[in-house]
Amino acid sequence: MNISVLGCGRWGTFIAWYLDRIGHKVILFGRENSKNLEELILNGKNAYLSLSKTVSLTSDLEMCLNKSSTIVISISCQNLREFISEISALNPANKIIVLCMKGIEENTGKRLSEVVEEYVPSSTKVTVWVGPGHVQSLVQGIPNCMVIDSKDTNVKSLLVHQFTSNLIRFYYGTDLIGNEIGAAAKNVMGIAAGALEGLGLEPLKGALMSRGAREISQIIKAMGGNEISAYGLCHLGDYQATLFSQHSNNLQFGKSLITKENYGKLAEGASTSKALTLLSKQYKVDLPICSTVKSLIEGNLNISKTMENLFLRDVKNEF
């Protein structure tokens, strides 16, 4: 396949590396002023991997759209609306757009596929790529499992077959709402896990995992998705990578809330906690962990007392 990957950060560059590695013709896009793109052009590598010379590097967005039938987007979620409006102006008709990013639009509570569908023609098929994995592990050959989901069954089948390899096994997603919400929400749980670690309350991660998955299953159900999706690869299946791995930006960000240090890297769970709190009110679903994380980020709570009490609420049945 001819594929353009838009976004040359850690994950976008890995996607280009991976798709090139399994035989596709890949173009990797970055902005003209992108330090990531400059590093790749100068050195052919970044801190995580080396790119093959068969991967084309460019800052020409129009060329990317003209030369590729499949467009993979991997950028900061909160910048998606502005970016997709720019893409829309270049007429992306009859394309497959793959969103390899996990988040919810902060100010509207919209899923990322919903944002894209506002701007692209009906002939353009929107899909999502979710599931666990860190670049650091994958480039070492440590395999993982992920999910591709879309409203279009044929496109979903095509991408699962074209993207699957010995390194990443893809499953067919069957719940676009659940997969998008679940994938975004696991980052919020990652921040909570980091706060617990920072407070020396790591044993409470078990309760966080159990109650967190249940909490997210309820909002997925209220939004019209399948609550079981919260226990799949998009959410619970991604907990190891997000709640335990030291490569997790959200985990490290959560720790920084305790140490009062400026973490400095993107933690998508911060904006997602705000979006989920918005959805909590809209769908009248209690999301105590998500709302607590939001308040912690905003500095509105006593961190130590709040994190201890979060799992010691009024006595009630577990289920």
Domain ranges of the chain: 2-172, 176-310
| Radius of gyration of the CA atoms of the chain, in A | 19
Q: What is the pLDDT of residues 127-138, one digit of tens each?
A: 999 999 999 999
Q: Is domain 176-310 classified as CATH 3.40.50.720?
A: no
- pTM for this predicted structure: 0.94
What would be the CATH architecture of the domain defined by 2-172?
A: 3-Layer(aba) Sandwich (3.40)
Q: Which residues are catalytic?
A: 186
Query: pLDDT value at position 265?
Result: 76
Q: Which residues contact 285 (CB under 8 A, 6 or more apart)?
A: 218, 219, 222, 279
Closest CA to 266 of 182, 191, 207: 191
Q: What is the pLDDT of residues 12-42, one digit of tens each?
A: 999 999 999 999 999 999 999 999 999 999 9
Q: What is the pLDDT of residues 255-305, one digit of tens each?
A: 998 888 887 777 899 999 999 999 999 999 999 999 999 988 888 766 666
